[in-house]
Amino acid sequence: MNILLLLPALILIFIVFVIPIVRYYWLSIHASSVMTGLIPVPNNGSNWLRILSDDRFWQDLFQTLRFTFTSVTIEILLAIVIALLLNQKFQGRGIIRAISLLPWALPTTIMALGWRWIFNTPYGPIEQIFTLLGIGTINILSNPHLAWIATVIADVWKTTPFIMIILLAGLQTIPSDLYEAFKLEGGTEIQSFFKITFPLLQPYLIISILFRIAQAFGVFDLIQVMTGGGPANSTESLGLYAYINSMRFLDFGYSATIIFLTFIILIGFCILGWLLISQSKRFLSSEI
Amino acid sequence: MTLILKGISRSINRNWIIKELNFEVDDGECLAILGPSGCGKSSTLRVIAGLDKPDEGEIYINNIDVTNVSPVARRVGMVFQNYALYPHLSVASNLSLGLKVRGVSKVEQRKRVSSILSVLQLDHLSTRLPAELSGGQRQRVALARALLRDPLVYLLDEPMSNLDAQLREELRPELRRLILNGQQPVLYVTHDQQEAMAMADRIALLNNGFLEQIGTPEELYKNPRSIFTAKFIGRPQINFLKFKDGLITAVRPENIYLSREGYQCKVIYKEWLGMNQLLFLESSLGSIKMICKSDLKVNEKVTVNWDTKDEFQFDTHTGKRLDKAITKSKQIISR
Amino acid sequence: MKRNTILIIILLLWSLSPFLWQVYTSFSTTTSILKPFSFIEHKWTLQNYIKVIESNPPFWRYLLNSAIVGSTSTILTLFLAIPASYAISKSNNHQRKITKIFLFLTSLFPYVLLFLSLLEMARKLNIGNNLLALSIPYSALSLPLAILLLSSAFQDLPNDIEEAARIEGLGLVQRMKWILFPLIAPATASTAIIIFLFSWNEYPIALTWISKSEMITLPVAIARIAGSSVFSVPYGAYAAATVLGAVPLMIIVLLFQKQIISGLTQGAIKG
């Protein structure tokens, strides 16, 4: 009887999460593009040969990794600070928590458009301020070396609240008598952060880091709306490249190859991250 | 109305939780199931209620085999340790929900609920939520729900354990008036030997899933058949004194007295209990507890003794009673 | 205390100013937009909003589409997730652990990567350009988190309450109706709001499944605006669109902040 209740949900999850991955692998060893009339034809792995020498793919992988690690690192650090701040008792705490959660709840495309306007040259407020200060325009969104930083800023703005709420939940599970006991033993505030808060917050940090790495690796909406991948493909993510290949170039076979390889690389990074975390855990627990 | 268990066993992951339980509870009789935590008391109750299935054995209610009957059809009234009141329903709705699903008419529901509320003096609380009640009030609502079930058997799972000591004493007469004086057999699970002795007609003492001993409170106190029973029944705990290998002699603290001849002891410390005092003595036989009226001082030297008739003797290895009193207690049971 | 006040003000500015800047722009005339910091000669206008509302199809249409998809997805997800969660909460420790780990991993999955295969499925089944059909992938994507949240809510219910109901003669359906649903209502509300927000905001699948302009959802509509305006300066109307698109969600967040926060935190603690 239990299985009957569970089955409809599991079947739907299976169809949407598991079948695509198998399908991608299958498509990746087929040609399926305008040339074949979008009918898959086996092509002896030429998609795979192509991707190995596709500079744009490797450039996008580099960009995606750069974006992921920069934004997740900043988000985690910022979220710790904000969570510690909002964990204190003060008047109006509920409403301030709600306001700080707003960026997370808004559709990404809406705020990506908003951020594009904020970084607009020359009418956006940032360029305007720089002009007023006499620094001159920096053209951030049309500078291939800087544009990705603008996308990181927008992503940090949008997703820090999510991590912050999870860490806040973690902070609330730490009983306050631990801090009191530590204080009576002569611990300072900074020591109590590193000796009590940080170790006990670890599971929550791990969950948020894993979740954010996976989500940032698949960044799509933000980039597509904010920069369209430009300038000179400098902000293009793997998700966007796969999308362009299927929807603009109508090459489903190659698009599937990109997605499948992205998936494999992501798993690799998750395993690596997991190993690093468990190693550092051992290191930390021996330290304490 | 009787409840009979025949060879009931239950296992979880190949561990026996209860093993070959056999007992009968007669009309209007209250049997306490007593034992330390994890001994299988609550499992026994759940098997009788039909919440868990036994691996072996049969259960009879009113001489009908109910082993494979659903909990509803067994018609048992159960009071749970944490009362299991529906937290989102008012007291009145908590009581009427069961009647409603059993197809009792609206008018009849209201009549029965209000009469049970007045019997339990809960009338003024009928619109409150369980969270707004005190522990004692919750317990009475749980009793009311069991009473409304009009059951064939009452099953009480540690009904007092969440109340403080004073409330427990106040609620005992009420429990007797409402449930124990009825026609139905009552099973009363508790870990508190004093509560079991006070409430029950007989006590079934469980140890690790096995029935250690069953009998009236007096039998268990006066004729324990094993070290386990002797230890579990009676407070302060019985003294175990070792005279020779393979044999343990046990004497209850209340049977030890000061005497001119006997065993030399020193008072180590004492607990003042009001009515009398509990002394902890050091002797060549090991430490001895005794109940004593006269005021002795710590470090004082005393001589104590006891009557041989108050001694129990046990086998060190099997833990079983060795002296002849055991045959006497057997005679009592068979009579 | 003083230090904290300053930090909180910075936090509020950081959270709100990008949005406030959109509001400011949306009420400014085109000439004022070009000189945002010339406050003296600044001119206010409602023209941008009128333009957005009068566009074809009208802007409220996108809001309605998103609301429809959000509601149907939420209902479908809960319909599937509640029985599944109940089943998981009643299964043995070993099965429960395995199912939960599987669900946790799927909820980590960057679902953007699924768009191509889902698009193929939509074409094969001929369910593109259908708002209601969109709730099928949305439900599937929301299910892992929804089941994790609801199954821990079921697990948190004391077992003896349901047992008491069984002894009293309530069957499974009656227990669901009278006991279990009311007791997991708070968790259901949190879950529902999080699913609704996700479905309202989802972009890549809506983008690829729906092409008829009167059927697109809000995020897609905004992205189309963005796509058509890469080099155009008169931003006022776009700002008005972002404000109109953001306000319903801000109201939801402020009204349901408790449910949202408890939903997210339960997900973190129990997930």
Single residue among B202, B227, B252 that ends a domain in this structure: B227
| Residues of chain A contacting residue C141, judged by C-beta atoms under 8 Å apart | 16
User: Quick check: is B335 in a domain?
Assistant: no
Q: For the residues A106-116, what does the mean pLDDT come to?
A: 89
Cβ contact, residue pair C164, B78, below 8 Å = yes
CA gyration radius, chain C? 23
Cβ contact, residue pair C37, A128, below 8 Å = yes
C82 is in which domain, residue-wise?
59-217+252-265
C-alpha of A9 from chain center = 27
In this complex, which chains have at least 3 CB pairs below 8 Å with chain A? Answer: C
Cβ contact, residue pair C15, A103, below 8 Å = yes
Q: For the residues A226-249, what does the mean pLDDT come to?
A: 89
Question: Is B214 exposed, middle or buried (CB count within 10 Å of its CB: 0-12, 13-18, 19+)?
Answer: buried
pLDDT at position B333, please?
Answer: 42
Query: Is-contact B283 B306, C-beta < 8 A?
Result: no
Q: Nearest chain A Cα to C257, which residue?
A: A98
Instruction: Name which of C52, C265, C266 to mutate to probe chain A: the one with the most chain A Cβ atoms within 10 A of its Cβ.
Output: C265
Domain count, chain C: 1
Residues ≥6 apart with Cβ < 8 Å to A234:
A63, A144, A145, A147, A148
Q: Which helix (H) or strand (E) holds A286?
A: helix A252-287
C6 reaches A (C-beta below 8 A): no
| Residues of chain C contacting residue B97, judged by C-beta atoms under 8 Å apart | 165, 168, 170, 178
d(CA B187, CA B181): 13
Residues ≥6 apart with Cβ < 8 Å to B268:
B280, B281, B282, B287, B298
Q: How far is B88 from chain C (nearest CA, A)?
A: 7
Cβ contact, residue pair B71, C167, below 8 Å = yes
pLDDT at position B151, please?
Answer: 92
- The answer to whether chain C touches chain B by having 3 or more C-beta pairs less than 8 angstroms apart is yes
pTM of the shown model: 0.85
pLDDT at position A74, please?
Answer: 96
In this complex, which chains have at least 3 CB pairs below 8 Å with chain B? Answer: C
Query: Is-contact A30 A43, C-beta < 8 A?
Result: yes
Per-residue confidence in pLDDT tens, chain B, 335 aa = 799 999 999 998 889 999 999 999 999 999 999 999 889 999 999 999 999 999 999 999 999 999 999 988 899 999 999 999 999 999 999 999 999 998 899 999 999 999 999 988 899 999 999 999 998 899 999 999 999 988 999 999 999 888 888 888 888 888 888 888 888 999 999 999 999 999 999 999 999 999 999 999 999 999 999 999 999 999 899 999 877 778 889 999 999 999 888 889 999 988 888 888 899 999 888 899 999 887 788 888 999 999 988 889 898 888 888 876 544 444 444 33
pLDDT at position A284, please?
Answer: 59
d(CA C3, CA B330): 81
**Digit-coded pLDDT (tens) for C54-83:** 777 788 889 999 999 999 999 999 999 999
**Digit-coded pLDDT (tens) for B255-314:** 999 988 888 999 998 888 888 889 999 988 889 999 988 778 888 899 999 998 888 989
| Range from A276-280, B1-5, C247-251 carrying the lowest mean pLDDT | A276-280
Q: How far is C156 from chain B (nearest CA, A)?
A: 13
| B9, two tokens | 């066993």
C-alpha of B13 from chain center = 27
C166 reaches B (C-beta below 8 A): yes
pLDDT at position B335, please?
Answer: 34
Q: Nearest chain B Cα to C162, which residue?
A: B84
Determine the CATH number of domain A56-287: 1.10.3720.10
Cβ contact, residue pair C166, B72, below 8 Å = yes
Three state DSSP letters for chain B? CCEEEEEEEEEECCEEEEEEEEEEECCCCEEEEECCCCCCHHHHHHHHHCCCCCCEEEEEECCEECCCCCHHHHCEEEECCCCCCCCCCCHHHHHHHHHHHCCCCHHHHHHHHHHHHHHCCCHHHCCCCHHHCCHHHHHHHHHHHHHHCCCCEEEEECCCCCCCHHHHHHHHHHHHHHHHCCCCCEEEEECCHHHHHHHCCEEEEEECCEEEEEECHHHHHHCCCEHHHHHHCCCCCCEEEEEECCEEEEECHHHCEEEEEEEEEEEEEEEECCCCEEEEEEECCEEEEEEECCCCCCCCEEEEECCHHHCEEEECCCCEECCCHHHHHHHHHHC
| B259, two tokens | 């005497």
d(CA B18, CA A232): 75
The β-bridge relationship of strands B30-34 and B186-190 is parallel
B299 is in which domain, residue-wise?
236-327
Over pLDDT 70: what percentage of chain A?
97
Q: How far is C118 from chain B (nearest CA, A)?
A: 42
pLDDT at position C228, please?
Answer: 67
Task: Name the pLDDT band for C205 (thresholds 50, 70, 90).
Answer: very high
Domain count, chain B: 2
User: Quick check: is C208 in a domain?
Assistant: yes
Terminal-to-terminal C-alpha distance of chain A: 49
Q: Which helix (H) or strand (E) holds A41?
A: strand A41-42
User: Quick check: is C4 in a domain?
Assistant: no
CATH number at residue B39: 3.40.50.300
Q: Are residues B97 and B122 in the same domain?
A: yes
pLDDT at position B262, please?
Answer: 87
CATH number at residue C195: 1.10.3720.10
User: Quick check: is C44 in a domain?
Assistant: no
Q: Nearest chain A Cα to C235, which residue?
A: A117
User: Quick check: is C244 in a domain?
Assistant: no
Query: Is-contact A53 C146, C-beta < 8 A?
Result: no
Q: Are residues B249 and B143 in the same domain?
A: no
- Tokens 């894993």 locate to A210
- Give the count of alpha carbons within 13 A of B268, CB side only: 9
Q: How far is C186 from chain A (nearest CA, A)?
A: 17
Q: Are residues B66 and B214 in the same domain?
A: yes
Q: CA nearest B67: which of B12, B4, B14?
A: B4
Single residue among B190, B207, B227 that ends a domain in this structure: B227
Q: What rounded mean pLDDT belongs to chain C?
A: 86
User: Quick check: is C191 in a domain?
Assistant: yes
Compare A134 and B265 and report the one with higher pLDDT: B265
Q: CA nearest C49: which of C39, C58, C57?
A: C58
Cβ contact, residue pair A123, C117, below 8 Å = no
Q: Are residues B10 and B101 in the same domain?
A: yes
Integer CA distances (angstroms), C136 to A109, C9, C61, C126, C127, in order: 22, 42, 21, 13, 10
For C166, which of B71, B86, B87 is closest by C-beta distance? B71
Q: Nearest chain B Cα to C169, which residue?
A: B72
Single residue among B197, B227, B257 that ends a domain in this structure: B227
Q: What is the dihedral of CA B114, B117, B118, B119, to 10 degrees?
A: 120
Integer CA distances (angstroms), C32 to C35, C48, C236, in order: 5, 13, 10
C270 reaches B (C-beta below 8 A): no
ipTM for the whole complex: 0.87
Q: For the residues A29-49, what does the mean pLDDT come to?
A: 83
pLDDT at position C234, please?
Answer: 64
Domain boundaries, chain A: 56-287
Instruction: Name which of A1, A10, A13 to mutate to probe chain C: the one with the most chain C Cβ atoms within 10 A of its Cβ.
Output: A13
pLDDT at position C231, please?
Answer: 46
C225 reaches A (C-beta below 8 A): yes
Q: Nearest chain C Cα to A8, which residue?
A: C80
Q: Nearest chain B Cα to C168, which residue?
A: B98
pLDDT at position B324, please?
Answer: 60
C-alpha of B297 from chain center = 37
C18 reaches B (C-beta below 8 A): no
Q: List for chain A the helix, strand, coil content (%; round to 5).
A: 75, 0, 20
C152 reaches A (C-beta below 8 A): no
For the beta sheet containing B239-244, the strands, ordered from the edge strand earlier in sequence to the opposite edge, are B239-244, B247-251, B312-315
Instruction: Name which of B45, B66, B80, B112 to mutate to probe chain C: the one with the most chain C Cβ atoms within 10 A of its Cβ.
Output: B80
- Tokens 């079948």 locate to A19
Cβ contact, residue pair B86, C179, below 8 Å = yes
